[in-house]
């Protein structure tokens, strides 16, 4: 077994797959697995899209950041040599040697050459020519940050360090030169690990694994960033070593696109698969309903028997128990009992403990009496048939047992563990849900989810079990590291038994499963991966990446998909209530308008007796009601917000800038006071119907103005009031009502308030249960003895602190350890049998070093609730779990893994508190988001209508494709045929192959490449550039100017130009630095052509693109909250001294730093650890530091020594309000809207029940043949041909070569005559696709089909896109006027034949067609102008008596008697009679009954047409 290769016996872990055979025997689990299997294709596409994104960022990282993370601040300006007699950091001579080197570096210089030189190349560098040297470069061990080479980056290694009172200037350097040549031999001297890793081999820099030196490391680092765990550390390393703003832009883009969009696509895919399961469950619902009917009948029979039984026995008791007053009394007892249980705390007094114990007994007795009354009242059998009553009985019985054991053994109750059963009484508080309807509905959803989560829990256990066993095979007993160096120690090597073992390991099944669960929670999974990488090799990365992809991205999202499905199923019951809430919300928003209340608040201008005040009121109203006034105020609010962002306690108060800010703030305050007074005058202050303070936005403005006034007058706590002034930036929210997209977001938030409140109540109740449980057992246990004195104690003394024994068990020398007379030592009070606590011993042996293990604790319910809230965000929960696992009781020294049973407690809390209860926030917000969307588009619709609405929304996203026409000229045609994919697909395949080769060549670039490799890669780039240039030239020659009509062609041309510029630049200038990397960045753009070629990726990419507008809306609201909290953070915490997590990269000292820090907190990056660190006071801190005269603040080392130290103390209690409110509002509420947006975008773009993306793509391909320039329109003449070529299901023609009559008949039969026609006579692509899809919907849904209401938003959009009023029927009628005239003449001839037998009418000369057209009388309205009625029955066409008029000659012909024209005079092919002012043509096809011809789609057989005119 080699130390660098994992244990290959992991293949035995495949045996654990055997339990998966049990899936077939578990129907519920089988359905969940089926949903995952059905979504594998889409999940694979999402993973491919994520991989594509990571590949692009990884290649970009290699181009720009390779080698940067090796740079560290050094104490010498160049590498130095070793002395002959000192070659290890563990030798005593090392510290004096480093001091001498720092003071006299020239005496130890390694090479006489420069460190780096721009004129060098890789083979001419002296570090390459002379080879690696036996030297090293001393590092400043006080600074663990990377630094910027060449003056870039935040950390420039400014300032000095002291060696023996000598100030030494630092420099930034790397163990590699600029070309990646190693400077030193890679031996383990002097550090105990490879010398070349000396700059990065530490935990702060992720042991050197986070870098962009090669594609593999860059990919792993980018994947870590996308997972939102540890990404800030990578970004800070980049900021310190490279340009600040570009690196922030890159990482924020990767976070937004990868973390918030692509990863949510996984949830969208799984949710879609879960929705598909509902159809399979419908067939089983019938059987379930039958079973439920039988159960209901059985319950009814039991209830009837019970009622009879009760009626015969204790009716009075039942009436007493069911009395509302008794119920309210029991509810009060439950609440009081909860309060009593929550009063327990650490260091509780004996009297208080006695009172709580007595109250506990009292409540136990009350609950026992209640149970007895219920049993007596309804009988034991009926009592036990109710699960809730059984649970109550369980609680009461266990409480009585606990009391009995307490009475028997007063000192054993606590250790018995039965006291924990008191916590179960808290579940009774859920009885309030019966009176709280919305909370009751939420609990119903939770209950339904719990039933399905049972199957998910089995899947989760199997998954953890499989990966735990696999991890054991990989890493068991291999994660052993040296305490000082961190180097892995192999099995059997020296120091293995005493090596450091990380808390997250795989040495046994319990901790392996716990570690897997830790990774699933996302907490520090990257640290576990790096430990595995250190212990084995890079192969371990595959294990952890697969665990994150399958476990975190898929399995854990499956849980959220189940929850969302249950919310969707339950949302139908609340739809009506929701609409009422929406209407109220909209009313409250629109009621702020001041234009509709003029009559109520103003006197009429005709009143001659207007008082002076009335005139002022009228003038004020005219001003504030003017739209320009509102725009001016909005502009001033923006300017005021900018000034607030520029304001900072760290500004020099005596500077011109600060004074001007103060004057501007005064001016804004006066303006806003004036605005407030004018509105008060116009509307009244409080008493009038539309008073100023009766508007919510005005109340907000009023409060802000008052705070501004108090701040200017310096009344109250100035800093806090100045921070509250930032609420003025909320005023732009009034503009949201004018933007429908933003209004949807805000409405969703407002509507979510009641639901979020319910979730908050549920969360508090669950947190309270876990908190009381934890306080009962863990209060006072999170302490230990640690410090300088403790670490200097002998092993025997440390052992005695850990396991103290009675004083009498110590010998004389051991008793002499204690200073009995010391004030802090209580040893003098111990008798011979007393066993002191670890804390008492620590106070004697290491005074003042009994400290907290972690900043949080379970000492009381309030602290426990706060701690549970923090770890419910999955941040820091592992450290709390370790503290609980190590604790051994109150005031006892903890030891590692003393109580591993607490692992199950914290895993259970994470499952309930983080993965279930807090995920309800996601559920309710997305549910309300969908309800708002339904109200604005899909409210009160049947399932068939919803399906049709989704299809229409899907169609509305259609876009025509530009089709390049075949050019003229033989050579251009050859080029055209050569490059067109549908003619020569191999050309496109070859180009795609070249793109892949180009990407591979970029990915093979790494730090330290030889010049030969670089030359080869450059030649490949030149060849590929020639190929791509040739491709562009051929296409330009073949397509002409049409080449630039396509967006992808423009993109390709830009990349080609950039590549050419890069090659030319490299030939002209040998070293162009970062410009070369920027130019090479164009080559990465070629990868995006893969998206165009791969359809599945294109669909997901389009989903991302279509979601950008909605994400921008949410992002605007998110930016507003970030803006407010950033200003508050600067005002409150900018003067704090650096401590804990607050450092140069993460602080509130500037507005930009605060914004970036809040972005970190929004991703959950150790926000609670940062908050806890801000509570600590640095040494020598002051409450409000003030700037000394003629100095500046000490922002960096370059400001010293003439500067004022920024040494403010901790933030205090305001930190709780600041961080907790930000987490609740932003993380739990606003960011969850991103999930809803991505789900909606995926739903609109995914394959539906009626149409699929393939169907629309086939349609657009055929459309492009008739609309090559993507004008969105085709002529009506081409429409029939187009429909004939569309493949099914949108197409419906079955004949190979149909005639025009066949096409027209088919269109008539399929209901396509209502396609709207634009004024120019063309039809729109959306209208055609909509009518074709409507035909499919009717065919699929049958009688259930019902078109959307005319006021539906989709209908309005379609109607808006139709700029004409005609339909296909009208246009075809006008175009066929000539055929109508022919039909008219044919009918006259037929009438003449009738006249020979029975003369009813006379034939009249109508003139030739040319004469009629020349006269201009052949129009739609001149074809028929008589007043006779035409009746149709089964046998004949009847003409009542009247006058028939010729439309051209205007000759009248009397009808002698009623005309009876037999049908047999007309054959099946006759054209018919022209009637109606709209030129309806009747007749034709008489063998099939009376049917309209191809231009009339109404077919009213046997009915009276009405008062139509007839033309003969």
- Looking only at the bridges linking them, the beta strands covering 1192-1193 and 1203-1204 are parallel
Name, in order, each residue with C-beta under 8 angstroms of 522's C-beta and a sequence gap of 6 or more: 227, 228, 229, 552, 874
3-state secondary structure of 146: strand
Tokens 């969850």, residue?
1232
Residues 1427, 1432, 1436: CA angle, nearest 5 degrees: 110
Listed in sequence order, the DSSP H helices in 1134-1163 are 1151-1162
Q: Is the dihedral of CA 1214, 1218, 1220, 1224 positive or negative?
A: positive
Is the alpha carbon torsion for 1170, 1172, 1178, 1182 positive or negative?
Answer: positive
The pLDDT of residue 3 is: 46
* Distance, CA of 678 to CA of 685 (rounded, Å): 10
Burial class (CB in 10 A: 0-12, 13-18, 19+), 1300: exposed
User: Environment class of residue 363 by beta-carbon count within 10 Å: exposed (0-12), middle (13-18) or buried (19+)?
Assistant: buried
DSSP annotation of 729 reads G
Closest by CA to 897, choosing from 510, 520, 417, 524, is: 510
Q: Is 821 exposed, middle or buried (0-12, 13-18, 19+ CB in 10 A)?
A: exposed
Report the pLDDT value the prediction gives residue 295, as an integer from 0 to 100.
45
Rounded distance between C-alpha atoms, residue 743 and residue 738, angstroms = 7
Q: How far apart are CA 103 and CA 474, in angstroms?
A: 48
User: How high is the pLDDT of residue 1507?
Assistant: 30
* Pair 481, 534: CB distance under 8 Å: yes
* Structure token pair of residue 439: 């909370």
What CA–CA distance (Å, rounded) separates 1259 from 1335? Answer: 15
Q: Give the pairing type, strands 171-173 and 72-74.
A: antiparallel
The structure tokens 């080479």 sit at 149
Burial of 805 (0-12, 13-18, 19+ CB in 10 A): exposed
Contact 1314, 949 (CB under 8 A): no
Give yes or no for a contact between 855 and 1168, defined as CB atoms under 8 angstroms apart: no
Phi/psi of residue 783, nearest 5 degrees? -135, 155
For the entire predicted model, the pTM comes to: 0.80
3-class DSSP assignment, residue 689: coil
Max distance between CA atoms of the chain, in angstroms, equals 149
The first and second tokens of residue 892, run together, are 């006892």
The sign of the CA dihedral 966, 968, 973, 975 is: negative
DSSP string, 1-32: --TTS--GGGGGGGGGGGGGGGGGG-HHHHHH
Where do the H-state alpha helices sit in 348-436?
350-378, 380-384, 387-408, 413-416
Neighbours of 1321 (CB within 10 A): 15
Supply φ then ψ for residue 1481, to 5 degrees: -110, 115
H helices then E strands: how many in the chain? 55, 21
SS (H, E, C) 458-515: HHHHHHHHHHHHHHHHHHCCCCCECCCCCCECCCCCCCCCCCECCCCCCCCHHHHHHH
User: What does the pLDDT read at residue 70?
Assistant: 94
Positive or negative torsion for Cα 1403, 1407, 1413, 1416: negative
Burial code of 501-517, b = ≥16 C-beta within 10 A, e = fewer?
ebbbbbbeeebbbbbbb
Which residue in 331, 327, 318, 322 sits closest to 425, CA to CA? 331
Integer-rounded Cα radius of gyration of the chain: 41
Q: Which residues of the chain have pLDDT under 70?
A: 1-32, 34-35, 164, 272-314, 388, 409-449, 451-452, 565-611, 697, 711-748, 929-964, 1069-1080, 1093, 1095-1096, 1106, 1243-1254, 1292-1314, 1319-1321, 1336-1512
d(CA 523, CA 230): 9
pLDDT (tens digit, 9 = 90+) per residue, 523-567? 999 999 999 999 999 999 999 999 999 888 888 887 777 777 666
CA distance 1289 to 1334: 12
Residue 1245 has a pLDDT of 60
């Amino acid at each position: 077994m080699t130390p660098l290769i994992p244990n290959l016996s992991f293949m035995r872990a495949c045996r654990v797959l055997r339990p998966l055979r049990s899936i077939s025997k578990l129907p519920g689990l089988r359905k969940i697995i089926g949903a995952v299997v059905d979504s594998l294709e889409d999940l694979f596409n999402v993973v491919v899209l994520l991989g594509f994104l990571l590949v692009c960022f990884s290649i970009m990282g290699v181009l720009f950041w390779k080698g940067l993370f090796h740079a560290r601040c050094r104490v010498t300006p160049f590498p130095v040599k070793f002395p002959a007699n000192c070659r290890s950091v563990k030798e005593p001579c090392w510290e004096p040697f480093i001091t001498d080197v720092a003071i006299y570096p020239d005496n130890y210089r390694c090479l006489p050459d420069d460190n780096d030189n721009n004129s060098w190349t890789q083979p001419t560098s002296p570090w390459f020519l002379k080879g690696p040297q036996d030297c090293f470069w001393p590092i400043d061990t006080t600074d663990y940050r990377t630094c910027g080479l060449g003056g870039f980056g935040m950390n420039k290694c400014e300032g000095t360090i002291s060696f023996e009172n000598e100030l030494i200037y630092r420099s930034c350097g790397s163990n590699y030169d600029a070309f990646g040549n190693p400077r030193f031999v890679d031996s383990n001297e002097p550090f105990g690990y490879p010398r070349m890793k000396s700059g990065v081999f530490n935990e702060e820099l992720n042991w050197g694994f986070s870098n962009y030196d090669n594609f593999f490391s860059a990919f792993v680092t980018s994947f870590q960033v996308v997972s939102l765990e540890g990404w800030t550390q990578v970004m800070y390393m980049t900021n310190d070593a490279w340009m600040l703003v570009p690196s922030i832009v890159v990482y924020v883009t990767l976070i937004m696109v990868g973390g918030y969009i692509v990863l949510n696509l996984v949830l969208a895919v799984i949710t879609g698969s879960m929705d598909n399961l509902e159809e399979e469950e419908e067939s089983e619902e019938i059987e379930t309903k039958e079973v439920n009917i039988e159960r209901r009948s059985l319950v009814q029979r039991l209830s009837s028997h019970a009622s009879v039984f009760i009626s015969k026995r204790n009716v009075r008791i039942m009436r007493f128990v069911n009395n509302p007053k008794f119920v309210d009394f029991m509810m009060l007892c439950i609440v009081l009992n909860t309060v009593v249980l929550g009063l327990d705390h650490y260091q509780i007094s004996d009297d208080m403990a006695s009172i709580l114990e007595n109250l506990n007994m009292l409540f136990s007795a009350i609950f026992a009496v209640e149970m007895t009354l219920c049993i007596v009242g309804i009988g034991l059998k009926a009592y036990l048939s109710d699960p809730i009553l059984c649970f109550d009985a369980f609680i009461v019985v266990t409480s009585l047992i606990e009391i009995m054991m307490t009475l028997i053994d007063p000192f054993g109750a606590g250790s018995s563990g039965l006291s924990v059963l008191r916590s179960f009484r808290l579940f009774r508080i859920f009885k309030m849900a019966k009176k709280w309807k919305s909370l009751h509905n939420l609990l119903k959803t939770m209950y339904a989810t719990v039933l399905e989560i049972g199957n998910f829990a089995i899947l989760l256990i199997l998954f953890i079990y499989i990966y735990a066993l696999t991890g054991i095979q990989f890493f068991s007993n291999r994660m052993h590291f040296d305490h000082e160096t961190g180097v892995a120690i192999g099995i059997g090597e020296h120091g293995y038994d005493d090596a450091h073992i990380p808390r997250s390991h795989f040495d046994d099944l319990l901790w392996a499963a716990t570690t897997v669960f830790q990774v699933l929670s996302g907490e520090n999974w990257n640290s576990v991966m790096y430990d595995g990488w250190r212990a084995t090799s890079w192969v371990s990365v595959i294990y952890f990446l697969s665990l994150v992809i399958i476990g975190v991205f898929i399995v854990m999202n499956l849980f959220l998909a189940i929850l969302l499905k249950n919310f969707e199923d339950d949302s139908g019951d609340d739809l009506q209530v929701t609409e009422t809430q929406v209407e109220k919300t909209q009313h409250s928003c629109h009621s702020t308008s001041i234009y509709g209340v003029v009559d109520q608040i103003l006197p009429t201008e005709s009143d001659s007796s207007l008082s002076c005040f009335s005139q002022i009121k009228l003038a004020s109203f005219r001003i504030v009601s003017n739209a320009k006034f509102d725009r001016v105020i909005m502009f001033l609010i923006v300017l005021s917000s900018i000034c607030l962002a520029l304001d900072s306690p760290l500004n020099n108060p005596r500077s011109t800038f600060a004074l001007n800010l103060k004057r501007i703030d005064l001016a804004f305050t006066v303006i806003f006071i004036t605005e407030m007074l004018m509105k008060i005058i116009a509307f009244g202050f409080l008493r009038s119907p539309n008073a100023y303070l009766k508007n919510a936005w005005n109340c907000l403005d009023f409060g802000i103005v008052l705070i501004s006034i108090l701040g200017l007058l310096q009344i109250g706590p100035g800093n806090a009031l100045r921070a509250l002034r930032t609420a003025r930036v909320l005023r732009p929210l009034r503009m949201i009502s004018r933007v429908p997209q933003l209004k949807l977001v805000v409405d969703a938030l407002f509507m979510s308030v009641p639901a979020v409140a319910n979730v908050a109540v549920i969360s508090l109740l669950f947190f309270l249960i876990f908190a009381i449980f934890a306080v009962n057992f863990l209060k006072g246990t999170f302490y230990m003895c640690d410090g300088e004195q403790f670490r200097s104690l002998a092993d025997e003394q440390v052992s005695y602190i850990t396991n103290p024994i009675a004083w009498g068990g110590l010998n004389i020398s051991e008793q002499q350890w204690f200073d009995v007379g010391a004030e802090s030592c209580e040893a003098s009070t111990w008798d011979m049998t007393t066993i002191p606590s670890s804390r008492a011993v620590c106070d004697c042996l290491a005074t003042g070093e009994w400290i907290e293990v972690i900043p949080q604790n379970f000492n009381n319910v309030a602290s426990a609730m706060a701690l549970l809230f923090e770890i419910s965000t999955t941040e820091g929960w592992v450290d709390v779990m370790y503290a609980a696992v190590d604790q051994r009781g109150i005031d006892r020294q903890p030891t590692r893994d003393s109580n591993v049973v607490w692992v199950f407690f914290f895993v259970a809390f994470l499952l309930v508190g983080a993965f279930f209860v807090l995920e309800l926030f996601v559920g309710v917000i997305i549910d309300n988001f969908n309800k708002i969307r339904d109200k604005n588009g899909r409210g009160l619709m049947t399932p068939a209508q919803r399906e049709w609405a989704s299809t229409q929304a899907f169609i509305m996203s259609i876009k025509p494709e530009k089709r390049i026409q075949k050019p003229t000229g033989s050579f251009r045609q050859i080029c055209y045929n050569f490059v067109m994919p549908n003619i020569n697909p191999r050309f496109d395949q070859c180009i795609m192959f070249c793109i892949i080769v180009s990407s591979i060549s970029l990915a093979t670039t790494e730090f330290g490449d030889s010049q030969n490799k670089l030359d080869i890669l450059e030649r490949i780039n030149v060849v590929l550039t020639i190929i791509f240039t040739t491709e562009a030239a051929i296409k330009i020659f073949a397509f002409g100017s049409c080449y630039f009509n396509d967006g992808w062609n423009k993109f390709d041309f830009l990349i080609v130009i950039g590549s050419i510029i890069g090659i030319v630049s490299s030939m002209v200038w040998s070293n162009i630095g970062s410009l070369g990397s920027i130019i090479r960045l164009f080559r990465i753009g070629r990868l995006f052509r893969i998206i165009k070629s791969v359809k599945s990726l294109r669909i997901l990419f389009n989903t991302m693109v279509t979601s950008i507008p909605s994400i921008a809306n949410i992002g605007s609201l998110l930016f507003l909250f970030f803006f407010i909290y950033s200003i508050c953070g600067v005002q409150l915490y900018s003067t704090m001294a650096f401590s804990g997590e607050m450092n140069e990269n993460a602080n509130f000292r500037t507005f930009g730093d605060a914004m970036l820090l809040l972005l970190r907190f929004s991703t959950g990056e150790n926000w609670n650890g940062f908050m806890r660190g801000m509570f600590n006071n640095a040494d020598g801190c002051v409450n409000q530091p003030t700037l000394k005269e003629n100095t500046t603040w000490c922002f960096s080392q370059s400001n010293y020594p003439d500067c004022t130290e920024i040494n403010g103390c901790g933030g205090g209690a305001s930190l709780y309000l600041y961080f907790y409110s930000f987490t609740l509002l932003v993380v739990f509420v606003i960011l969850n809207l991103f999930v809803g947006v991505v789900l909606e975008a995926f739903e609109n773009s995914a394959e539906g029940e009626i149409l699929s993306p393939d169907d629309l793509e086939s349609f657009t391909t055929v459309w492009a043949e008739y609309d090559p320039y993507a004008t969105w329109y085709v002529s009506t003449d081409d429409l029939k041909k187009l429909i004939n070529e569309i493949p099914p299901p949108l197409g419906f023609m079955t004949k190979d070569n149909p005639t025009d009559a066949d096409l027209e008949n088919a269109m008539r039969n399929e209901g396509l005559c209502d396609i709207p026609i634009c004024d120019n006579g063309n039809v729109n692509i959306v209208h055609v696709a909509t009518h074709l899809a409507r035909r499919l919907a009717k065919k699929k849904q049958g009688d259930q089909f019902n078109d959307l209401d005319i006021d539906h938003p989709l209908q309005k959009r379609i109607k808006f896109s139709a700029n004409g009023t005609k339909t296909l029927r009208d246009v075809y009628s006008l175009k066929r006027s000539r055929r109508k005239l022919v039909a008219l003449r044919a009918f006259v001839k037929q009438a003449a034949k009738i006249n020979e037998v029975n003369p009813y009418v006379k034939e009249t000369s109508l003139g030739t067609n040319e004469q009629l057209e020349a006269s201009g009388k052949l129009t739609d309205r001149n074809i028929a102008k008589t007043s006779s009625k035409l009746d149709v029955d089964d046998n004949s066409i009847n003409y009542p008596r009247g006058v028939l008029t010729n439309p051209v000659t205007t000759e009248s012909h009397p009808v002698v008697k009623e005309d009876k024209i037999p049908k047999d005079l007309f054959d099946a092919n006759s054209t018919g009679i022209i009637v109606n002012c709209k030129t309806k043509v009747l007749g034709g096809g008489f063998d099939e009954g009376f049917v309209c011809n191809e231009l009339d789609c109404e077919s009213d057989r046997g009915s009276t047409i009405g008062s139509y005119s007839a033309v003969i």
